[in-house]
């Protein structure tokens, strides 16, 4: 069975600085998808970024980028130029290509301080 | 935003009573999911549906049942609510379970069992 682990329950960063959130996963699959979701205090689940395992290039979405290390089964999220609106819970998630089901990590609560 | 409506959004109920949560979508997506969110666990899949009258269990399905009689509606029923089912419940939808699949979430339903 697949598992996803986020080892940092809480993190904080100063506004405008860069922060990296860690995620590791365990799977025997060779092809899969990885996601980062943001959950602000409103509890809305917002897709931040997605990575296909068969792509070596790291995904980037504006200030958000990932460091995908397939051999190490690591999928970290880097937030550059942190903004107050980035304050939220961040979840790492795994999906098999044809399973349609997400497996989530425990979450990392990020606070951006002015 | 994906057209997903959950109802009720907030409910307090007594132990032993039946409870039904409704998820309604306007996207005509084939796949629908129910997750629960608890502190320290992230989101965990309860049940999912891959078409009308086609449903299957997730990782935490005990004590829950689901039904899908129409494409747009997916119901989650707690036959006899217990305090351990106090949680935030999220409905999600996706067009497919294959390559390029993206899962969209509803706004959540807060259930308190007293």
Chunk chain A into consecutive blocks of 10 residues (it has 114) and report each block's average pLDDT, rounded to whole numbers. 92 98 94 93 92 89 95 97 97 83 93 97
Nearest residue to B71 via CA among B96, B91, B56, B49: B49
B48 in Cβ contact with B56 (< 8 Å): yes
Burial of A47 (0-12, 13-18, 19+ CB in 10 A): middle
pLDDT interval class at B7 (50, 70, 90):
very high
What is the structure's pLDDT at A101?
Answer: 84
A6, A50, A100 member nearest B97 (Cβ): A100
C-alpha to C-alpha distance for B18 and A70, rounded to whole angstroms: 45
What six digits make up the tokens of A80?
């550059």
Q: Give tens-digit pLDDT for B9-53.
A: 999 999 999 999 999 999 999 999 999 999 888 899 999 999 999
C-alpha angle B96-A93-A83 in degrees, rounded to nearest 5: 115
C-alpha to C-alpha distance for A40 and B44, rounded to whole angstroms: 18
What is the structure's pLDDT at A56?
Answer: 83
B105 in Cβ contact with B92 (< 8 Å): yes
Please check whether residue B96 touches A, CB under 8 A. Answer: yes
What is the structure's pLDDT at A1?
Answer: 76
C-alpha to C-alpha distance for A91 and B78, rounded to whole angstroms: 26
CA of B76, closest CA in chain A: separation in Å? 17
Interface of B with A in 1-20 (CB under 8 A): none
Please check whether residue B45 touches A, CB under 8 A. Answer: yes
pLDDT interval class at B102 (50, 70, 90):
confident
On the question of pLDDT at B104 being above 70, the answer is: yes
What is the structure's pLDDT at A51?
Answer: 92
A44, A47, A99 member nearest B97 (Cβ): A99
What is the structure's pLDDT at A67?
Answer: 96
Please check whether residue B58 touches A, CB under 8 A. Answer: yes
B43, B94, B98 member nearest A104 (Cβ): B43
Average pLDDT, chain B: 93
């Amino acid at each position: 069975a697949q598992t996803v682990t986020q080892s940092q329950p809480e993190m904080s960063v100063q506004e405008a600085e860069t922060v990296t959130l860690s995620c590791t996963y365990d799977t025997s699959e060779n092809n899969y998808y990885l996601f980062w979701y943001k959950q602000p205090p409103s509890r809305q689940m917002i897709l931040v970024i997605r990575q296909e395992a068969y792509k070596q290039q790291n995904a980037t979405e504006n200030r958000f980028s990932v460091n995908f290390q397939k051999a190490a089964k690591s999928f970290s999220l880097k937030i550059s130029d942190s903004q107050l609106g980035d304050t939220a819970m961040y979840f790492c998630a795994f999906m098999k290509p044809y399973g349609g089901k997400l497996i989530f990590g425990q979450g990392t609560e990020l606070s951006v301080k002015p | 935003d994906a057209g997903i409506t959950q109802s009720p959004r907030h409910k307090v109920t007594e132990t032993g009573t039946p409870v039904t949560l409704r998820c309604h979508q306007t996207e005509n997506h084939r796949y629908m999911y129910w997750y629960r969110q608890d502190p320290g666990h992230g989101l965990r899949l309860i049940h999912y549906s891959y078409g009308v009258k086609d449903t299957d269990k997730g990782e935490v399905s005990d004590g829950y049942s689901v039904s899908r009689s129409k494409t747009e509606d997916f119901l989650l029923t707690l036959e006899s609510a217990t305090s351990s089912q106090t949680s935030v419940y999220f409905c999600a939808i996706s067009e497919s379970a294959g390559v390029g699949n993206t899962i969209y979430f509803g706004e959540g339903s807060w259930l308190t069992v007293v």
